[in-house]
A and B are shown apart, each in its own frame.
Chain A
Amino acid sequence: MKILVPVKRVVDFNVKVRVKADQSGVELANVKMSMNPFDEISVEEALKLKEAGKATEVIVVSAGVTACQETLRTALAMGADRAILVETDVELQPLAVAKLLKAVATKEGAGLVILGKQAIDDDANQTGQMLAALLDWPQATFASKVEIAEGSAKVTREIDGGLETVEVKLPAVITTDLRLNTPRYATLPNIMKAKKKPLETIKPDALGVDVAPRLKTLKVAEPGKRKAGVMVKDVSELVDKLKNEAKVI
């Protein structure tokens, strides 16, 4: 079984983004970019499945600008076998990405696609579910445990009330949550080796996908600021403030 792992290049999770003065977007110049943290978890899970003999090949795919190659190289250095860049300068929204991924998954004959549950830039949490819909495959979202059996997968999901275990028929789409695993680091020798692994570039046109955005961003604004608070010296003062000033207890 081939596993396809979509990885997105996003602003690093440690960066606090700033809104541009003209409100056209957030400042991305000279900002550190990394692989979406959930996608590192997806890569790790795919590699573990391959190591356990449940998969034959791990293919990573990223859609976006040329620089996404760096993200793909990171995934190759973690251990993925080969990479595909769907290259475009167009701003990609989840529906367009899902269509591109459907084309790639079909072309490659993937038996499982593992995505992150959410990209930490757009916070959309859509692409995996959309891909599953377009392929008419079952979906197991927000996974914290994955077991692959013959023709099916048993997935434990993080839901609002706790945990839920579902069984989905393969082929399927899985999206990863934080507690699924701890991603490995790429070692220096593996980073060197990754440079020689195959990285193919294709254009959306070649996949027959129209990637035009459906949502237009009219403006991007700063969140409202909280007014500065006060420090209290002890518990008595805190209780007094909560009772008599804030009146919340």
Chain B
Amino acid sequence: MTALVIAEHDKSHLRGGTANAITAAAKMGGEVHVLVAGSGSKAAADDAAKHAGVAKVLHVDSAVYDAGGAENFAALVVPMAKGYSHIVASATAFGKNVMPRVAALLDVAQVSEISAVVSADTFVRPIYAGNAFATVQSSDAIKVVTVRATGFDAAVAGGSASIESMPAAPDKGQSKVLSQELTRSTRPELAGARRIVSGGRGLASGENFKMLDALADKLGAAIGASRAAVDSGYCPNDYQVGQTGKIVAPELYVAIGISGAIQHLAGMKDSKVIVAINKDPEAPIFQVADYGLVGDLFQIVPELTQQL
């Protein structure tokens, strides 16, 4: 039994919950191999090899994989799959895009966003926006699994895996990336942040939303948002926390002007400490908050920022 983890990386380091996926893969019972693909990605392969629990790194140095397109990634992974019992990736935009394509080409099911490994063929995963957790058993020969990073600790340093070079598969030429518009920020990455300040419709404008910057800076926090705040254009789309956005579980989550809809709670209710600031004492967010403060956020947020 061996699991293959499909890595996400920035050419020099693993990222996007790959280290958490390695931990999940190790729990599936066998050896763990990691596939690192992309041009100029030797440093990332070296980084993968240093993670505890990794036995072998497969490195493909080719620009075909730079854009992370599912068509080419699937064409690379599928011929390798026969040697593996599990194909694993983090449930990020990349993993969600690529892995079902791999699964279908192998004619196997995918188990999406597992939060726990019960055994080599049995996994726990949230359904209905996390209002229920299903324990599912796969009867397929190869298990294709995506991993919810918040369910597993990141694999730590301490390994010294071998690195093997592999050739690229031919470019399928079905799709090409024309441009990317990435949100630039010096703050921690939302998905793995230890502290998050998150804003909702209560902020009432993009201009007001910026008042979260000072608070986040004081806390060294990442900034998140509700769907309503994103839809209204107060902040970029990649800030969205929730069932259909990012899943987070920081030590501290401060929800400001967010009502606490099921879909939002789905993304943050595993946070260690939740603070809610809302003018409506009946807002459902207070039902999951450890500390609730009823009042006008436009007074509270500056005061809080100042007192920290």
Q: Which residues of A contact B (CB under 8 A)?
A: 11, 13, 16-17, 19, 26, 38, 93-95, 98, 117-118, 120-134, 137-142, 144, 154, 157-169, 177-179, 214-223, 226, 229-232, 234-236, 238-239, 241-242, 246, 248-249
Q: How far is the CA of A246 from the CA of B291 in the complex (A)?
A: 10
A234–B293 CB distance below 8 A: yes
Q: Which residues of B lie under 8 Å from residue A236 when comparing CB positions?
A: 307
Q: Which residue from chain A places its CB closest to the CB of B144 in the assembled complex?
A: A126
The one of B103, B272, B293, B303 in contact with A232, judged by C-beta atoms closer than 8 angstroms, is B293
The one of A134, A140, A222, A249 in contact with B132, judged by C-beta atoms closer than 8 angstroms, is A222
Q: How far is the CA of A241 from the CA of B110 in the complex (A)?
A: 43
The one of B104, B195, B262, B294 in contact with A16, judged by C-beta atoms closer than 8 angstroms, is B262
B103–A26 CB distance below 8 A: no
Q: Measured between C-beta atoms, what is the minimum distance from B133 to chain A in Å? A: 5
B252–A129 CB distance below 8 A: no
The one of B128, B182, B246 in contact with A162, judged by C-beta atoms closer than 8 angstroms, is B182
B227–A215 CB distance below 8 A: no
Q: Which residues of B lie under 8 Å from residue A239 when comparing CB positions?
A: 304, 307-308
Q: Measured between C-beta atoms, what is the minimum distance from B21 to chain A in Å? A: 14
A163–B109 CB distance below 8 A: no
Q: Which residue from chain A places its CB closest to the CB of B281 in the assembled complex?
A: A231
17 A-B residue pairs with CB within 8 Å: A13-B262, A19-B131, A93-B109, A95-B110, A123-B126, A129-B99, A129-B100, A138-B71, A142-B93, A163-B182, A179-B237, A216-B137, A226-B274, A230-B291, A235-B303, A242-B291, A249-B219
Chain A proximity mask over B121-135: 1 for CB below 8 Å, otherwise 0: 010001111111111
- B211 CB–A CB distance under 8 Å: no
A215–B137 CB distance below 8 A: yes
Q: Which residues of B lie under 8 Å from residue A226 when comparing CB positions?
A: 269, 274, 288, 290
Number of A-B contacts (CB under 8 A): 249
Q: Measured between C-beta atoms, what is the minimum distance from A215 to chain B in Å? A: 5
- B153 CB–A CB distance under 8 Å: no
Chain A to chain B: the 10 pairs with minimum beta-carbon distance, closest first: A129-B100, A130-B104, A138-B174, A133-B104, A214-B109, A126-B100, A229-B290, A162-B182, A138-B175, A133-B101
Q: Which residues of B lie under 8 Å from residue A122 when comparing CB positions?
A: 112, 127
Q: How far is the CA of A231 from the CA of B263 in the complex (A)?
A: 23
Interface size class of B (residues with CB under 8 A): 35 or more
Given contacts A94-B110, A242-B273, 20 further A-B contacts (CB under 8 A): A94-B109, A95-B103, A117-B244, A130-B103, A133-B102, A138-B174, A159-B180, A162-B238, A163-B237, A164-B179, A166-B178, A168-B175, A214-B140, A226-B269, A229-B290, A232-B291, A235-B300, A235-B304, A235-B307, A242-B252
Q: Which residue from chain A places its CB closest to the CB of B262 in the assembled complex?
A: A16
Q: Which residues of B lie under 8 Å from residue A218 when comparing CB positions?
A: 122, 135-137
Q: How far is the CA of A132 from the CA of B100 in the complex (A)?
A: 10
